[in-house]
């Protein structure tokens, strides 16, 4: 098992990279933290946790006994995504799983001192590994939310969501590893989420009661309690194509070598070796959806790194055909609240 001091070093390295994004959440409800180059940021590095706070939001992530990082790549329509899931065992990751709107009280653990008297309300999403909350110091908003306590946010007659949309409280997502706070205003129901810290809550996905996307290769019994997303070599932070950055690719492959699934790493290496040797596309077989996705990702990365390989076109024709079931089903979400 990876040692706690080493994991803290990894978190520090990622936190100080302005292009790394972060999230805390579950399948269907997620808070994201990112910051811009040059944006004023208060960074704190402690013995067991790291934090970063801007005027738009903040993050605190800690290390704990039994924490396991799991690095993975997943398919997108034209490229691939990359992330490291910070996982705990299912039996120790559990949060409060409240099913109705519930007042918690003052947020004494808030990232900024000025927010510690503000009142937290759990939205009651019932998720295993995250408590999704809002926080307000506005007496009118607090009183209005108290009036809807004990009701499900998604009951047809519940007016709590209207209160939240009108009051723009902070959003606070909590897990056993830390918290993300979002200070930015909530966009209208059909509006676009702002750049930087924001949240998504999607009832349609929450109904699946999954802890993570089915396309993410997390071993049985482990639950992602936070993620970080190192910079992609071919896409910027809004998903637009950019010139391939070899250094970014190498950096994530090092994380993948250390924290990735060994069987999937073997598949990637076998594909690269077979294509380089000019072997037939049938030379590598994929046993499950994760292996098949890995074959396709390996080929896309070879296309970026060594497009001149004679066998590559045939391999991509044979293996990299459109398959919507293989795509990362946590991508491309549109929030009903953010």
Residues 266-278 have pLDDT tens digits of 999 999 999 999 9
Cα angle, residue 185 at apex, residues 44 and 17 outer, rounded to 5°: 30
Residues 172-198 have pLDDT tens digits of 999 999 999 999 999 887 778 889 999
DSSP E strands in 220-332: the ranges are 222-229
Residues 231 and 248 sit within 8 Å (Cβ to Cβ): yes
> How many domains does the chain fold into?
1
In a domain, 263, yes or no: yes
In a domain, 310, yes or no: yes
In a domain, 298, yes or no: yes
Q: CA 154 to CA 252: how far, in whole Å?
A: 39
In a domain, 44, yes or no: yes
Question: Chain-wide mean pLDDT for the chain?
Answer: 92
In a domain, 110, yes or no: no
In a domain, 145, yes or no: no
What sign for the dihedral angle of Cα 296, 331, 254, 3? negative
Confidence of residue 324 (pLDDT cuts 50, 70, 90): low
pTM (predicted TM-score): 0.92
In a domain, 257, yes or no: yes
Residues of the domain holding 34: 1-100+172-338
In a domain, 328, yes or no: yes
Residues 213-258 have pLDDT tens digits of 999 999 999 999 999 999 999 998 888 899 999 999 999 999 999 9
The three-class DSSP label of residue 282 is helix
What sign for the dihedral angle of Cα 123, 125, 131, 132? negative
More confident residue, 5 or 291: 291
The residue with tokens 């492959």 is 253
Q: Convert 91-158 into a string of H (helix), E (strand) and C (coil).
A: HHHCCCCCCCCEEEEECCCCCCHHHCCCEEEECCCCCCCCEEEEEECCHHHHHHHHCCCCCCCCCCCC
Residues 35-86 have pLDDT tens digits of 999 999 999 999 999 999 999 999 999 999 899 999 999 999 889 999 999 9
């Amino acid at each position: 098992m990876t040692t706690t001091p080493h994991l803290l070093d990894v978190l520090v390295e990622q936190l100080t990279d302005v292009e790394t994004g972060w999230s805390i959440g579950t399948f269907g409800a997620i808070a994201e933290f990112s910051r811009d180059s040059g944006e004023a940021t208060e960074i704190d590095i402690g013995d067991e946790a790291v934090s970063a706070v801007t005027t738009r939001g903040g993050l605190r992530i800690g290390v704990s006994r039994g924490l396991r990082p799991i690095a993975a790549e997943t398919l997108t329509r034209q490229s691939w995504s990359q992330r490291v899931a910070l996982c705990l065992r299912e039996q120790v990751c559990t949060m409060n799983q409240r099913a109705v709107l519930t007042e918690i009280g003052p947020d004494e653990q808030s990232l900024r001192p000025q927010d510690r008297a503000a009142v937290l309300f759990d939205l009651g999403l019932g998720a295993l590994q995250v408590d999704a909350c809002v926080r307000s110091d506005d007496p009118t908003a607090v009183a209005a939310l108290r009036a809807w306590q004990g009701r499900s946010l998604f009951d047809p007659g519940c007016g709590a969501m209207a209160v939240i949309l009108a009051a723009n409280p902070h959003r606070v997502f909590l897990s056993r590893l830390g918290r993300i706070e979002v200070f930015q205003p909530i966009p209208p129901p059909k509006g676009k989420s702002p750049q930087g810290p924001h949240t998504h809550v999607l009832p349609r996905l929450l109904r699946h009661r999954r802890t993570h996307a089915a396309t993410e290769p997390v071993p049985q019994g482990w639950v992602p309690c936070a993620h970080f997303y190192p910079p992609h070599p071919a896409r910027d932070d809004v998903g637009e194509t950019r010139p391939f950055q070899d250094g970014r690719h190498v950096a994530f492959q090092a994380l993948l070598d250390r924290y990735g699934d060994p069987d999937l790493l073997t598949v990637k290496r076998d594909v690269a070796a077979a294509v380089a040797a000019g072997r037939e596309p049938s030379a590598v077989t994929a046993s499950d959806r994760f292996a098949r996705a890995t074959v396709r990702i390996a080929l896309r990365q070879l296309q970026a790194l060594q497009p001149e390989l004679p066998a590559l076109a045939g391999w991509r024709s044979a293996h990299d055909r459109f398959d919507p079931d293989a795509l990362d089903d946590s991508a491309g979400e549109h929030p009903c609240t953010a």
